[in-house]
Structure 1
Amino acid sequence: MNLIGYMEERFQNLEFIPSIYNQWGTGIHFCLGKNIYQLKENEELNLKRFQVVYEQITIIFNELFEQNDDIFLVTNMYKHKKEKCIRKLKVYQPFLKCKNHLNQIMVKTYPYPFEINKAEEYEMQQFSLLCKPRDLRVTELLKAASNEDFPQKPKFGGYSIDYPDVFFVNITKDIIFFIYDDRGCEVIALDFKRIRHLYEKYHDWVEEYK
């Protein structure tokens, strides 16, 4: 199975870009690290906040994914068209337990999806890998996804104009999980019954649901 075929069958017309929650009729938008500011009064990073965020996204991931689930790890890399290639390995290689998976990564190029000046000069390369959570260094991946705006490690590399967007697509359970940065994450599903327990158990983290 490839990503395009799966999406056409299960999540028709959904675009893999930030705010998947706003595109789909069934989902939960979580607010992370509530009431804990990213910086201290002296402008140093508030590491307590990041620790809370890491714990929250790990809990949510573990509620949604089991080690043997089949998933697509999808990464959007944004680049100038004149740039010959994007170093996808900087996103995948550090987080794969088995480097043989690098040979299985698929790529498709799309128009740049955001409204900016001279958007036609840019493009999006979308990489996807069919694997299982047990194949990934999940903890490090989740941290890198949430560290977008701050000099925290781990970080995704290989990007030229925008930080990569990474989506976890559980094709066993028909659920998609996206961390947009340290402020929050989104979960959508074909059937709300599959994510209702998240809403009930972690209601205090919920920003919106539908």
Structure 2
Amino acid sequence: MKENIMKYIESHFPNLTSELHLRFELGEPYENGTEDRLNQVVKRVTTLFEEVFKPDDSIYMYIKDWEVTEDIMFGNTTPEYLYSLLIDQNIEEETLLEIEKDYDEVTSQTIEVKNEYKVKFVYAQLKSVPYQEILKGIGNYEQGREPSIGQSVYFISTDKNLIFHMYDDRGCLIHSKDVKKLIVAFVSYI
């Protein structure tokens, strides 16, 4: 499973992105931390998600996990919550390395910082995945609410050539290779 989806991503969506995508606002105009904001986030993201994916769709989940148990900015983020939701799924894992370039002002040189992280993969029919709880957990993360999901979760359909990524309560991205698929998501949102 993991080899298939990694090859697919490399050939279709390098770095889990594409030039063709839409970004959707989820939290505005409500203030951070309010119930109104969180309720709106969950309603908007669920509506978009259900326009993009149907219950019988087969999807991959690509989960980027830095395996940080204590987040300095947001406190304890219930790091195992996502995996408790996926307890009935077959999860495969791979360790990857990300190289970031940073500028050292003291030495005036560019340095490379190597960050190791785990990627976990799930392949399932959507109806067996508690996506509403996952999306709500992602929305909770930066709001300091629990349960929260601090991992980056990408929902990928190889049949539809789509990636759905809610990055936090501010917004989500839908990447595609087909403009028509993005238009359907956009029309359903407005």
Which TM-score applies when normalising by structure 1?
0.72
The residue type equivalent to 1:133 in the other structure is L
The structural deviation recorded for 1:172 is 2.1
The residue type equivalent to 1:190 in the other structure is K
| Partner-residue secondary structure (3-state), 2:9 | helix
The structural deviation recorded for 1:182 is 0.4
Decide whether aligned partners of structure 1 residues 152 and 114 sit closer, same or farther in structure 2, where only a CA change above 3 A counts: farther
The structural deviation recorded for 1:26 is 1.3
The residue type equivalent to 2:124 in the other structure is C
Aligned: 1:197 with 2:184: yes
Aligned: 1:93 with 2:87: no
Residue of structure 2 in register with 1:77 after alignment: 65
| Partner-residue secondary structure (3-state), 1:151 | coil
Decide whether aligned partners of structure 1 residues 55 and 168 sit closer, same or farther in structure 2, where only a CA change above 3 A counts: same
Residue of structure 2 in register with 1:128 after alignment: 121
Aligned: 1:4 with 2:44: no
Residue of structure 1 in register with 2:137 after alignment: 144
Decide whether aligned partners of structure 1 residues 91 and 168 sit closer, same or farther in structure 2, where only a CA change above 3 A counts: farther
Cα distance in 1 between the residues matched to 2:24 and 2:180:
17
Structure 2 portions without partners, runs of 5+: 69-78, 105-110
The residue type equivalent to 1:143 in the other structure is K
Cα distance in 1 between the residues matched to 2:101 and 2:6:
21
The structural deviation recorded for 1:9 is 3.8
The structural deviation recorded for 1:31 is 0.9
Query: Which of 2, 25, 49 lines up with 1:61 in the alignment?
Result: 49
Cα distance in 2 between the residues matched to 1:114 and 1:79:
21
Identity of aligned residues (%): 22
Judge conservation of contact 2:100–2:114 (CA < 8 Å) in 1: no
Structure 1 portions without partners, runs of 5+: 39-44, 81-88, 157-162, 204-210
Judge conservation of contact 1:106–1:129 (CA < 8 Å) in 2: no
The structural deviation recorded for 1:119 is 6.3
User: CA-atom RMSD, angstroms?
Assistant: 2.5
Which TM-score applies when normalising by structure 2?
0.79
